[in-house]
Structure 1
Amino acid sequence: GRAGRRGLDETGYVLLWPDIPRLSDARPRQLKRATQVDWPSLTSVMREAAERGEQPFAAAVELSRSLFSAQSVPLGVEHSLATGAMPCGLWVDAERARFIRRPVTEILNSRDEWQEKSKPEKVSLGQLLVRENDRWISALSLPRILDGLGFGSLCKLRDKGIYGREIPLATIAPDEGVKPVKWLRKALLTQKRAPEQSQPLGRDSRGADALRRAHGSAGASPCQVFSGISRSVFDREILPCVSQFAAGAAIAEVVTRNGTISARLDFSAIEMSAHVDRYGRALQSPPEREAMPFVCRDCPDREHGLSTTITASPASAWRKLSLVDPDGTPTRRGIIFSLFQAGEGLAIAAALEDPSYSIADLIFDLANIRAGTRFAGEDAPLGGRLGALCQRTYERADYPGYLEMGVPVHYGSGASEVIREVVAAPASRYKFTTESLHSGDIERALIEWRSLLRHIASAPDLEWDRWRELQAAAAHFIEHSTSPAQLDLPPLLAAQQKRWTAQQFA
């Protein structure tokens, strides 16, 4: 039984009963190897091969072929191992085939070369290039670039060779005083405070307040403030405020024409979103095309990748679950997975990878991994924090023998709460029994939980703080909890110790 498999019995027994098959009835049968391979064992072999500097997938294939069987179970890397390394750096046959068939989007760069499309970045408008008449030119050399950006009349900043905008700022009075135009007066009076301040400045705005100080009267009205300003006061107090009212454009020059003071704005510093090519040039809406990945165009294995049938394989599943790197080296998740049976290591690895999942909670949630469906009752059998995390991490994937709906095949919610209470108060186990959940189920769950903790505590050490913390917690609860299988049983009765003969079974 389970106790014997867990190593709790020192002596093995054979139980006989009338009318059941005996050893003498046995006949030789032709055994057939199962098509399912042991993923954790192969992952362990791959890890050892990687540490020796060997090709991990080759070690896994060698182990699989060395098993006594007339049937070959492919891992999905045999062709790649036969052809050797390719420019893509992939070793899984299906992954190579998918990679070459998945087109990539390319853009025409600043030197009219096709390159892989990059993610958009923030660049200044002065750096931006646009495609015009089949050539790249500066964006600000085209008037249409400023459409919808700022206000005022278009103008040419001749010293820079780009377009900008010209906006009126003030008029010059007959007495040589300067009076801001209407839009500027309104902007100064409605100017907002800094982000940490919520009230509008109104009369306390920076420009207006400075003008009041210049007038020597803090309570001056707007009409008094904006009348009779000298040119020096205007240049010192008003001009620095103009940029924030003009979409952040900088003042390139100030011109006076026909009694009006105007500013010519340079939009070069305005940020835009663009694609930066391999030469560091920012491109707006570059031409695009879909093409075969660049590394595959001269690949000697290209035709095979385009024509082969893509099938599911253990190696492609390992890559999908992030158990191994492209070259077959096991990841940290894969190393944890290799230490356990079936899909148990996948659940433990997912929990350890989540820093918000405390070890104090995880240590009891481990009871759900082997609990089955009895403890869930009317609740979802795949529920609980650990079940939800596994479903999210592994995208509800199904891998026979390892995952069902993204959780280990024997997972069942509800056991963690029961085990937590039983560990705290062993006598409380009977209050959890129902018509479908018996005391034997609770004892079995406790035995399985302690078995898993014992496995964790005795597993190899890894350079991972959370793994070491889990091992320490497992060792603690092994020492401070009691297995129901270790309870003293009553002695056998005399009738139970009687030896039976073959004639008595006839």
Structure 2
Amino acid sequence: MPLEEVDVDNLKIHIPHHIRGYWPRFVAKALAADLGPILIFAPRRQEAEKLAEEIARELPNPQPLQLTNEQRALVGKHLAELLRARVAYHHSGLSYGARAGVIEPLAKAGQLRVVVATMGLAAGINFSLRSVALAGVSYKRDGIEQPLRPDEILQMFGRAGRRGLDDTGYILVSRTGLRLHHAQPGHLTRSGLVDWAALLSIMHMAATVGRDPLAEAARAQKRLFATKPVLLGIEHVLKNPNTPCGLKTDAERARLARKRVRQFLNSRGEWEDWGTIQELPLKQVYVYRSVIGSPVDTDTPGSASPNTTTQLVPALTVPDALEKIGSGTLCIVGYDSQGNPIYGREVTAAEKLADGRLSLARWVRRLTNWRVRLADRQIWEQTLVPLLTHRLAEQKTPVKQFVERDHRILAQIDLSEIKVRVPVDSYGVGIIKPIERAVIPAACLNCTHFQECRQLPTTAGTILLWRRLGLTDEHGVPTRRGLIVSFFPHGQGLAIAAALEAEDYPLEELIYDLANLDAGIRFAGEEDRWNGRLVRVCRATYGYQTIPGYLENGAPPNYGAGAEKIVASIHRNPDSKMDWVTEQIGVGDIDRLIIEWRSLLRQITHAPELDWGRWQDLKALARITLHETHSPTLTDLPELAPHQKRRISHRLIFKKP
């Protein structure tokens, strides 16, 4: 239907001063120009209700709408008063009966002059009015305020004009400034997400008849119509199945090809993978002399002999090996059997003063608990030296000797008992600062596909994710958990499988907790929406992974706590529904919750059989619960009264000033 823009603010129509407020005057001017009935889209429920109330209060009502008793019972007193003024609001918080039984039939019959709907329900509105106006430029989507997309604007503008009643639909330009040129169609593309349930089912059937599940899954993906292929992360593996590494996914091969294995030169002059780190006393640690810490970076693994100038010697005989061990100055504290010097540390213990007394170092006073800084020679030799020697020995840093040099007394410390963390080779020898190199893995050394694997993406593909989540085994055959997931869309199957595997999770509690899977943020109130036992078992099973469409921090993405209390209460007492209605939770929200919950119970009831007692018990409980509850849509909707079917003009006529 053709659409025309009308800038209502520029219409030369006099509106009485007693009509106050932007939107009442805006609507009054549009109705006076015979542009009614009007559909206004507001960003949120409260704004839609407030706007409808304001319009109904301010506008004259020359032709009040008479509702039947059945209609009044469905909409309630407040909404009935608005409908009397031929104004209504329309959002998902309303009950199914109020929306489908009263407001929508009256709007389609042309009995309402203004309907204020929420933007989030725009795609679900199944009626049109002559004119459309937008009362906002953004609305909350998934809990986040986001601007209207061009295709959403087009969707709302597309509600202008009633087929068979209007020749033209009108776009009423308001202070939001949105016009027809802001509306553009969206370009539809196939989702890049993999349909887990469908593919897991295909893989299960393939395994049942003796076919390769992975090959069948890849074949099914190729048959999908898509401009950009949706990959599973096994395409290269299927082309080249026989490789030395034996890895079954592209990401694993890519990571292996990019990996560098850290090796060091062991005590026999051979290259080996980095050994286990152990704490050993320095007297048992060795080092290669003259090439300490020299990096060797090569892609050719194997064995190698050290340079002819390189020799494995005790670490205590090489000063560079001890540079970060102990405090003080390196010094020679002895010699080994071959005449090589053994190094230790020397630190100042005291300074000799002119009067013959000694000024003790702070570390000496702290170690011996000596409170006085000055001491005479006799106290030093008879008391402090034995005490200091004993305390240092307790710390595995015994004193070799005390020497006097340049007005100082130095303590020479033996480092041989100090423990250091070093790699230990396959022969049990610890080597400090070994010669290192980084090489490609041995499995890739002679592989003809090495360079191809280096170019593959390292991001975990769907098949690898499934194996990590325990949905398939290494051959691609779905596990019991994977079969449960294949029965349900999105993350519902993941949650149900995790709950069933938790043997201490009562099914009588789970049957209500299932309502939380699609509850979102509305029913949690001020509490954490991720609260509840179902989330805990999911995170215990899958960790805190986020997988678009399936898991958000380890839980189903649409999960929302609080819904389980409502469905449990209504199951026990169907008349308790209204007890849960609040400013944030409408009757329509509860109705939709029950519909979604019963739909999931129906899926469980009709899902395939499994040789698993917990699954069979859940199916039986779901079947019983379905029979004990009723769908909110099973409501006898009233017929329109004869006077509500007659055409009516909504044009307002104001006296000229």
Rounded to whole Å, the distance in 2 between the matches of 1:257 and 1:309 is 67
- Choose the corresponding residue for 2:490, options 309, 325, 342: 342
Over the residues paired in the alignment, what is the CA RMSD in angstroms? 5.9
* Structure 2 CA distance for partners of 1:92 and 1:378, relative to 1, 3 Å: same
Q: Rate the CA distance shift 1:281–1:185 in 2: closer, same or farther, 3 A.
A: closer
> CA 1:146 to 1:477, structure 2 compared with 1: closer, same or farther past 3 Å?
same
AA partner of residue 343 (structure 2) = Y
1:268 pairs with 2:416: yes
Q: 2:331 aligns with which of 144, 154, 165?
A: 154
Q: Give the AA of the match of 2:592.
A: D
Letter in 2 for 1:416: E
Deviations along 1:326-353, one digit per CA (max 9) or x if unpaired, are 5546578646534644322333456789
Letter in 1 for 2:421: S
The answer for unaligned runs of 5 or more in structure 1 is 1-32, 171-179, 192-201, 203-221, 463-467, 496-506
Q: Which moved more, 1:476-485 or 1:158-167?
A: 476-485
Could you tell me which of 230, 238, 248 is aligned with 1:81?
Answer: 238
2:316 corresponds to: 140
- Offset of residue 149 of structure 1: 0.6
Q: Distance in 1 between matches of 2:505 and 2:285?
A: 46
Give the counterpart letter for 1:156 in structure 2.
Answer: V
Q: Counterpart in 2 of 1:444?
A: 595
Residue aligning to 2:577: 429
* CA distance in 1: counterparts of 2:445 and 2:437, whole angstroms: 15
- The 2-side partners of 1:190 and 1:332 are apart by 68
State the Cα deviation string for residues 121-152 of structure 1 (Å, max 9, x = none): 54433343444423344321123444461458
SS of residue in 2 equivalent to 1:485: coil
Aligned length: 404
Aligned counterpart, 2:343: 163
Q: Does 1:96 align with 2:96?
A: no
**Normalized against structure 2, the TM-score is what?**
0.46
Residue 242 of structure 1 aligns with an amino acid whose one-letter code is L
| 1:377-427: CA deviation from partner (whole Å, max 9, x where unpaired) | 7988x644556976993543315xx45786546544442343354456654
Alignment correspondent of 2:72? none
Q: Distance in 1 between matches of 2:425 and 2:321?
A: 21
- Against the structure 1 CA distance between its residues 325 and 264, is the aligned structure 2 distance closer, same or farther, given a 3 Å change threshold? farther
Once the two structures are TM-superposed, the CA of residue 368 in structure 1 deviates from its matched residue by: 1.4
Alpha-carbon distance in structure 1 between the residues aligned to 2:369 and 2:273: 48
Which residue does the alignment assign to 1:503? none
Q: Secondary structure at the match of 1:108?
A: strand
1:504 counterpart residue number: none
On the 8 A contact 2:263/2:272 being kept in 1, the answer is yes
Change (3 A) 1:341 1:255: same
Give the CA deviation at 1:289: 4.9
Alignment TM-score, normalising by the size of structure 1: 0.57
Q: Which has the larger radius of gyration?
A: 2
Alignment partners' CA distance in 2, 1:290 and 1:320: 29
Query: What do residues 285-342 of structure 1 show as CA deviations (whole Å, max 9, x unaligned)?
Result: 4455554333212113224324567898532443565644555465786465346443
Give the letter aligned to residue 243 of structure 1.
A
Following the alignment from structure 2 to structure 1, what is the Cα–Cα distance between the partners of residues 503 and 388?
A: 53
Contact map agreement 1:250 1:265 (CA 8 A) in 2: yes
Q: Give matches, 1:58-457, under 5 Å.
A: 58-62=212-216, 65=219, 75-100=232-257, 102-104=258-260, 106-110=262-266, 114-117=271-274, 121-134=278-291, 135=310, 136-147=312-323, 149-151=326-328, 154-159=331-336, 162-165=342-345, 186-187=365-366, 189-190=368-369, 240-244=390-394, 247-250=395-398, 265-307=413-455, 314-319=462-467, 321=469, 323-324=471-472, 327-328=475-476, 334=482, 337-338=485-486, 340-348=488-496, 364-371=512-519, 375=523, 383-384=530-531, 393=543, 395-399=545-549, 402-403=550-551, 407-408=555-556, 410-422=558-570, 427-434=575-582, 437-438=586-587, 439-448=590-599, 450-451=601-602
Q: Deviations over 1:208-229 (max 9, x none)?
A: xxxxxxxxxxxxxx99x96996
Within 5 A, what are the aligned runs for 1:45-56?
Answer: none
Q: 2:152 — aligned with what?
A: none
Query: Who is 2:196 aligned against?
Result: 39
1:243: Cα distance to partner?
1.8
Q: State the one-letter code of the partner of 2:213.
A: A
Secondary structure at the counterpart of residue 164 of structure 1: strand
Whole-angstrom distance in 1 between the partners of 2:562 and 2:492: 17
Give, as a single letter, the amino acid of the residue that structure 1 aligns with 2:283: G
Please list every run of 5 or more consecutive structure 2 residues that lacks an aligned counterpart in the other structure: 1-189, 292-309, 351-357, 640-657
Determine what percentage of the aligned residue pairs are the same residue. 30
Deviates more, 1:407-416 or 1:87-96: 407-416
